[in-house]
Amino acid sequence: MIKWLFVNRSIRTKIVWSSVLISLIPMLVLSFLFYESSTRSLERTMYKSTDQNAEYLSGFLNQYFRDISSSALQVYGFSRILNFMEHGGNVTDDDFKVGGELKNYYLLVTNKNKDAIIKIMVFGKDNELRDYWSRAASYDSIPFNQSIPHFGDMLDLPFQHSLSFTYSDDILSQDFFVYAITIYEPFYHRKIGSLVFYIQKKELKKIIEANNREPNVITLQNSGGETFYETNDKYANIVPGYALPDSKAKNNPKLIRFVKDKDLLVGTSYLDNGNLSLSIVYPNDELSRHRTNTLRITIGAFLFAMACISLLSLLAQQYLTRPIQQLGQAMKKVRHGNFHVTLEQPNRYRDDISELTRNFNFMTEKIRELIEMRYQMQLRNKEAQLLALQMQINPHFLYNTLQTIGGKAVLGGDYDIHEMCRALGDMFRYSFYEGNMESTIGQELAHISNYLYIQQFRFEDSLQTEFDVPAELMDAPVIRFVMQPIIENVVVHALGGPEERQLLIRVQATADNDTLVLSVRDNGPGIDAAKLAALRNGLETRSSEVFAGISIGLKNVHERLRLVYGESYGLELDSGSGAGTTIRIRIPYRKGGEEHA
């Protein structure tokens, strides 16, 4: 048995079972001692209930339902509400001012009944819901349909009749007491509407139990003979059914008539304000009854104590299992490749689990550092490969060849070929430059001008360019090849499709304190929101496989900028479907080799 309880169980289950088993034997001993002492005390003290007690309870409950009934009937004092119930309308209409009166009526009802009512539903003459009020938003979901008892007749009650019943709501998992009354015009008995009040059954039970004396058994029946509340059903076959009282009993609802039947005293009274009958069963064999009640109390106290112990064990184990569960979930994320997981842990904690959490955070931080080092090594290795590729091509041979082709073109009178060769030669010269990897804004603009000049021979008038760069920014330093991939990306995506359009590319540069921003704007088709979000996320997600696919592009430029200048610099994308695209290159502004102040 012990092995079955503990083997292959979670830590939470083991802690709870341990607490329950340790407390079980002491609680059984204490419960037995309590039962024995209580029954012996009851043997010495016999408790008798009298008809005065029953009359008092009848009067109290009659007053309770009188408060509910009078609260409902106070609607006659609000003429606009009566008109609203009978004819309908808009509660926000200033002409009727129904909303204010409804608010005052709800406040009057709730105050009069000591905040016991949790929901009020106002129905019109046509049984359509006109308005409702709920004490809490959770009670808005209480249904009013076929799932509720008496749904078909509770809105069409006879004049001066009400209907009370209880039911269990499956949606909220709560028991409710429902009081319904149909409002009539007092002189001609013309129906105006209906009111339905909801009260939690536990509140009704609390009121009844607070004014009841054990071992009385209380039963409440509505006008349909339905028992909607009873202390217990032990004497259900003895309680008389509901019967309309004679005029004397109706005028004096506190009149109690006791009948002796099988050693039981049964009293029935009529609660006129609720159309209810109250039955009280008082067993003469008090000792047996008290023993049973004591046994129930003992068992209930035992179960309650065990439930409290189990609940406290569950609450206590959270301080042990929750950090372990969080650690396990974090490890699962790490196993799936997410090394940016960090668990929060207050520094004041110095227990074993806190030490595990700190070690886990240290481990993920070290893993991130190793990945960053590997990423930078791959980037440096790629740069070395590019430099090696450059060294394999003899730039002087390319320059001389292009100059020869250009010279031949001049001799033939074709100056366009000469300019294309010159532009291409300048591009090769800029690309195969063996000096410093850093260039200037002016040199970058000259490089993309050569690129665009060649592209304009392909697209002719479909490609237009504008440059708006102040002269004082031309000497600002920037790493090489940050603009050509962006311009090339614009040309490919904006002019490479089947649609014929005139593309305008505008390049601007602005300086703000120590930051320089290069903007490339186009009037192309733009990027839809989903793809733009994916691009932005791709730029912010650093991957060790950045060179696995397309190595020269937006991501490559963004990663190189952040690697050289820091995390606060790089690319920013802004676009919309059909609204063109803007790409901003954010770099530090330095002048003359020093940061600009």
Residue 485's nearest CA partner among 447, 522, 517 is 447
Distance set, CA 140 to CA 77, 134, 183, 349, 475 (Å): 26, 6, 23, 44, 69
Domain spans in the chain, listed from the N-terminal domain onward = 3-48+292-326, 49-283, 339-390, 461-588
Residue 473's nearest CA partner among 438, 431, 444, 430 is 444
Q: What is the DSSP letter of 158?
A: P
Residue 182: its pLDDT value, please?
93
Residue 392: its pLDDT value, please?
42
Long-range CB contacts (< 8 A, 24+ apart) of 374-379? 374/544, 375/542, 375/543, 375/544, 375/546, 376/563, 378/544, 378/546, 378/547, 379/546, 379/547, 379/559, 379/560, 379/563
| Three-state SS at 307 | helix
Residue 133: its pLDDT value, please?
92
Distance set, CA 461 to CA 98, 362, 427, 484 (Å): 70, 59, 22, 20
Which residues neighbour 248 within 8 Å (Cβ) at sequence distance 6 or greater?
Answer: 255
At 562-597, the pLDDT tens digits run 888 888 888 998 887 777 889 999 999 877 545 443
Residue 309: its pLDDT value, please?
74
Burial of 341 (0-12, 13-18, 19+ CB in 10 A): middle
Residue 543: its pLDDT value, please?
56
- CATH 3.40.30.10 assigned to 49-283: no
Neighbours of 164 (CB within 10 A): 28
Straight-line distance from the first to the last Cα atom of the chain, in angstroms, rounded to the nearest whole number? 78
The alpha carbon of residue 330 and the mean position of all alpha carbons in its chain are separated, in whole angstroms, by 22
The secondary structure element, H or E, covering residue 139 is none
Which CATH fold would you assign to the domain 461-588? Heat Shock Protein 90 (3.30.565)
Do 165 and 228 touch, CB atoms closer than 8 A?
yes
DSSP class per residue in 422-478 = HHHHHHHHHHT--S-SEEEHHHHHHHHHHHHHHHHHHHGGGEEEEEE--GGGTT-EE
Tell me the two tokens of residue 125: 């003459």
Residue 196: its pLDDT value, please?
93
Q: Which residues of the chain have pLDDT under 70?
A: 1-22, 35, 38-54, 90-96, 244-264, 272-274, 284-291, 315-325, 339, 345-353, 376, 379-415, 418, 424-437, 496-500, 542-552, 592-597
Tell me the two tokens of residue 474: 């031309």
At 418-466, the pLDDT tens digits run 677 777 666 666 665 545 567 888 888 888 887 787 777 777 778 888 8
